[in-house]
Amino acid sequence: MAQVDPARSRIRDRKGGLELELALSQGVPYRIFTLQDPRRVVLDFREVDWSGVQAATLVRSDLVASAAMGGVRPGWSRLVLTLTAPLALQRAALTIDPESGAAVLRARFMRVGDAAFAAAAGAAPDPGWALPAATSGDSRAASSTSEAGVLRILLDPGHGGLDPGAMRDGVTESRLMLSYARTLREALVRAGAEVAMTREDDSFVSLERRVEMAHAMDADLFISLHADALAGGGARGTTVHTLSKTASDEASRKLAERHDRGDILAGVDLSHSDDVVADVLMDLARMETQPRSEALADAVVAALRSAGLPLNSRPRRAAGYSVLKAADIPSILIEVGFLSSDRDRANLVTPEFRARLAGAVRDAVLAWQLADEAEAPLRRQ
């Protein structure tokens, strides 16, 4: 994996435009493109290790509002620059030292008009960079059929890669949730469920792709796992969230915004994400699915309370979480705790606590399955 030399790398204003110089330990394939809403420059690499690189020291430009970097999927990494003005790539070149193999990527961007930026935005089709067909990450769950009564569950460890989520005292949400998801998967598999995960390592998966994976494995349930941090550190205990067009409270609204922001950080093209007709059709499908999601969320709260695990004072909440928008699959988001809470953080880094939490969620899923099967004849076919 190519290493970045922070001391010899810079992104700066120069001659009315933006100049990028990235020093690498070796040459790697790369591509550069722009995205709008918001305006971003995206650089993909196969693959670069960003360890030790700080956005605050790398970027010294009034044309860049923020920068994010890190893994975007296995074998790929990405640098995303959110712009304050429309820019277009003028030139780019990777030079490699024939003796050492070290490389320097240089790129220059010039100011353009809004119309020119919009016309050029988007990544051109490139088979070498295309995502593989969606898979569940588990060959058992990817099959087209399953035994009667066997639940297919897709677990979604939140964030990942260049979107680490919340961070407190050396604890990173994306890594902590990956560890917890593995524990929960083991508990569910031992109970007879077929379980897959949206990611198996610390790599980025877009919100749209997470939902796509649920459909690809024909999932019966989708459970997204998070451990956020809120300013002030007052929130603590588990909360369970379902989808709603309006947030049940201000904290849930802010959580939904932070979870969705990962796609912007990772340079995902959001220009086609709003389709009024599609939204209407999905609302019709959710008329049946939403009560099932609500029942699952209630079952999780009841199981955690029965197990004596710490719950938030308002454990049931709702907001417009994009990751819960699979219209035909019951979906919930569990904030297993808050990294901003010293008590929650101490609990969540303890394997024994995570095992208890996984056991309670497993019990909730099994209780929900029995009730859902009993009500199945009453639903529309």
Q: What is the pLDDT of residues 71-90, one digit of tens each?
A: 887 778 899 999 999 999 99
* Residues 39, 84: Cα–Cα separation, whole Å: 8
Alpha carbon of 284 to those of 207, 223, 249, 278: distances in Å? Answer: 21, 22, 25, 10
Q: Is residue 192 located within the same domain as residue 336? A: yes
* CATH number (domain holding residue 44): 2.60.40.3500
71 or 105, which is more confident: 105
pLDDT value at residue 288:
76
Q: Which domain holds residue 49?
A: 2-123
Give the percent of the chain with pLDDT over 90: 59
Confirm if 17 and 109 have CB atoms less than 8 A apart. Answer: yes
Mean pLDDT comparison of 38-42, 147-151, 241-245, highest-scoring range: 38-42
Q: Is residue 189 located within the same domain as residue 251? A: yes
Q: What is the mean pLDDT of residues 11-23?
A: 95
* Residues 206, 195: Cα–Cα separation, whole Å: 20
Q: Is residue 191 located within the same domain as residue 118? A: no
Eight-state DSSP code of residue 160: B
Q: What is the mean pLDDT of residues 44-67?
A: 91
**Sheet order of strands, 311-319 included:** 194-197, 152-157, 221-226, 331-335, 238-243, 311-319
Q: Is residue 222 located within the same domain as residue 338? A: yes
Q: Is residue 208 located within the same domain as residue 282? A: yes
pLDDT value at residue 63:
96
* CATH number (domain holding residue 342): 3.40.630.40
H helical segments located in the chain: 55-58, 114-120, 173-190, 207-216, 250-265, 276-306, 342-348, 351-375
Among the residue ranges 64-73, 121-130, 206-215, 268-277, the one predicted with the least confidence is 268-277
Among the residue ranges 122-131, 217-226, 302-311, the one predicted with the least confidence is 122-131
Q: Is residue 83 located within the same domain as residue 221? A: no
Q: Which residues have C-beta within 8 Å of that of residue 270, sequence separation ≥ 6? A: 35, 37, 263, 264
Q: Is residue 135 part of a domain?
A: no
Q: How many domains does the chain have?
A: 2
Among the residue ranges 127-136, 233-242, 284-293, the one predicted with the least confidence is 127-136
Q: Is residue 130 part of a domain?
A: no
Q: Is residue 271 part of a domain?
A: yes
Chain segment 138-170, per-residue pLDDT in tens: 433 333 334 457 899 999 999 998 888 999 999
Q: What average pLDDT does the chain have?
A: 85
Give phi and psi for 131, each to the nearest 5.
-70, 145
Q: Which of 103, 123, 143 is the last residue of a domain?
A: 123
Q: Is residue 21 located within the same domain as residue 89? A: yes
Torsion, CA 185, CA 187, CA 189, CA 190, rounded to 10? 160
Q: Is residue 161 located within the same domain as residue 84? A: no
Q: Is residue 162 located within the same domain as residue 114? A: no
